[in-house]
Amino acid sequence: MAAPPLLTLQDVALTFGGTPLIAQAELAISPGERTCLVGRNGSGKSTLMKIAAGLVEPDKGARFVQPGTTIRYLAQEPDFSGFDTTLAFVEAGLTQGDEAYRARYLLESLGMTGAEDPARLSGGEGRRVALAQALAPEPDILLLDEPTNHLDLPAIEWLEAELKSVRGALVLISHDRRFLSALSKTTIWLDRGVTRRIEQGFSTFEAWRDAFFEEEERDRHKLERKIADEEHWLRYGVTARRKRNVRRLGNLHALRKERRDDRRPVGTATMTSTEAESSGALVIEAKHAAKAYGTRRIVDDLSLRVMRGDRLGIVGANGAGKTTLINLLTGQSAPDSGTVALGTNLKMMLLDQARAVLEPTMTVTEVLTGGSGDLVIVGGVSRHVIGYLKDFLFAPEQARTPVSVLSGGERNRLLIARALAQPANLLVLDEPTNDLDLETLDLLQEMLADYSGTLILVSHDRDFLDRVVGSVLVSEGEGRWVEYAGGYTDMIAQRGEGVQARAAFRAGKAEARGEARERAKAPDAAGKDSSGKDSAGKLKLGFKDQHELKTLPDRMKKLESDIAKLREVLADPGLYARDAARFSKASDLLSLAESELSKAEDRWLELEMLRDA
Q: What would the pLDDT profile of 342-374 be if each residue is shown by its tens digit?
A: 988 888 888 765 555 678 888 888 888 877 778
Let me know if 9 is exposed, middle or buried by CB neighbors in 10 A (0-12, 13-18, 19+): buried
Question: Residue 90: which H helix or E strand, with range?
Answer: helix 86-91
Distance CA 66, CA 150 (A): 34
User: What would the DSSP string read from start to end of 176-203?
Assistant: -HHHHHHH-SEEEEEETTEEEEESS-GG
- Tell me the average pLDDT across 289-295: 87
Let me know if 164 is exposed, middle or buried by CB neighbors in 10 A (0-12, 13-18, 19+): exposed
Distance CA 458, CA 430 (A): 5
Q: Which CATH number fits domain 529-612: 2.60.40.1180, 3.90.76.10, 1.10.287.380, 3.40.50.300?
A: 1.10.287.380
Q: Which CATH number fits domain 282-495: 3.40.50.150, 2.40.128.110, 3.30.2390.10, 3.40.50.300?
A: 3.40.50.300
pLDDT attached to residue 15: 87
pLDDT level of residue 143 (50, 70, 90 thresholds)? very high
Q: May I ask the CATH architecture of the domain 7-207?
A: 3-Layer(aba) Sandwich (3.40)
Query: Is pLDDT of 11 > 90?
Result: yes
7-207 shares its CATH topology with 529-612? no
- Tell me the average pLDDT across 29-36: 94
Report the interhelical angle of 153-164 vs 123-135 (nearest 10°): 10
Distance CA 329, CA 343 (A): 11
Q: Are strands 375-378 and 381-384 parallel, antiparallel or unpaired?
A: antiparallel
Answer yes or no: are the C-beta atoms of 281 and 454 closer than 8 Å: no
Answer yes or no: are the C-beta atoms of 274 and 418 closer than 8 Å: no
- Tell me the average pLDDT across 555-584: 78
Q: Which range is least confidently modeled, 20-29, 134-143, 496-505?
A: 496-505
Distance CA 556, CA 534 (A): 30
- Tell me the average pLDDT across 188-210: 90
CA-nearest of 476, 510, 477, 512 to 495 is: 476
Query: Is pLDDT of 422 > 60?
Result: yes
Distance CA 383, CA 374 (A): 8
Distance CA 432, CA 436 (A): 8
pLDDT attached to residue 273: 56
pLDDT level of residue 260 (50, 70, 90 thresholds)? low
Q: Are strands 296-307 and 282-293 parallel, antiparallel or unpaired?
A: antiparallel
Q: Can you say how many angstroms the Cα of residue 12 is from the centroid of all Cα atoms in its chain?
A: 29
User: What would the DSSP string read from start to end of 370-424?
Assistant: TTSTTEEEETTEEEEHHHHHHHTT--GGGGG-BGGGS-HHHHHHHHHHHHHHS-B
pLDDT attached to residue 55: 92
Partners of 198 in the beta sheet?
Answer: 187
Query: Is pLDDT of 62 > 90?
Result: yes
Q: Are strands 34-38 and 186-191 parallel, antiparallel or unpaired?
A: parallel
CA-nearest of 116, 65, 71 to 89 is: 116
Residue-range domain boundaries for the chain: 7-207, 208-261, 282-495, 529-612
* Inter-CA distances, 364 with 367, 399, 400, 596, Å: 5, 5, 6, 53
Starting at the earlier edge strand, list the strands of the sheet with 480-485: 348-351, 426-430, 454-458, 311-315, 471-477, 480-485
User: What would the DSSP string read from start to end of 122-183?
Assistant: -HHHHHHHHHHHHHTT--SEEEEESTTTT--HHHHHHHHHHHHT--SEEEEE-S-HHHHHHH
pLDDT attached to residue 498: 77
Residue type, 210: D
Distance CA 173, CA 52 (A): 13
Query: Is pLDDT of 559 > 80?
Result: yes
pLDDT level of residue 255 (50, 70, 90 thresholds)? low
pLDDT attached to residue 354: 56
Partners of 533 in the beta sheet?
Answer: 539
Distance CA 109, CA 503 (A): 9
226 vs 526, higher pLDDT: 226
pLDDT attached to residue 181: 93
pLDDT attached to residue 130: 92
pLDDT level of residue 178 (50, 70, 90 thresholds)? very high
- DSSP 8-class letter at 539: B
Query: Is pLDDT of 405 > 70?
Result: yes
Angle at 136 between CA 132 and CA 140, to 5 degrees: 120
Q: Which range is least confidently modeled, 113-122, 245-254, 452-461?
A: 245-254
| Total residues belonging to the chain | 613
Q: Which range is least confidently modeled, 2-16, 66-80, 249-263, 401-415?
A: 249-263
- Tell me the average pLDDT across 307-315: 92
pLDDT level of residue 307 (50, 70, 90 thresholds)? very high
pLDDT attached to residue 247: 63
Query: Is pLDDT of 540 > 60?
Result: no
Q: Which residues of 432-462 are buried (b: 16+ CB within 10 A; e: fewer)?
A: bbbbbbbbbbbbbeebbeebebbbbbbbbbb
Q: Which range is least confidently modeled, 12-16, 154-158, 413-417?
A: 413-417
Query: Is pLDDT of 268 > 60?
Result: no
Task: Please give the share of the chain, as a percent, with pLDDT higher than 90.
Answer: 27
pLDDT attached to residue 5: 92
pLDDT attached to residue 609: 66
Query: Is pLDDT of 253 > 80?
Result: no
pTM of the model: 0.68
pLDDT, tens digit (0-9, with 9 covering 90-100), for 206-231: 888 888 888 877 877 776 777 677 66
Answer yes or no: are the C-beta atoms of 20 and 195 closer than 8 Å: no
- DSSP 8-class letter at 118: G
Query: Is pLDDT of 521 > 80?
Result: no
Most confident of 74-78, 284-288, 392-396, 561-565: 284-288
Distance CA 432, CA 311 (A): 15
CA-nearest of 141, 92, 144 to 118 is: 92
427 vs 443, higher pLDDT: 427
Task: Please give the share of the chain, as a percent, with pLDDT higher than 70.
Answer: 80
* Inter-CA distances, 14 with 22, 33, 272, Å: 5, 26, 36
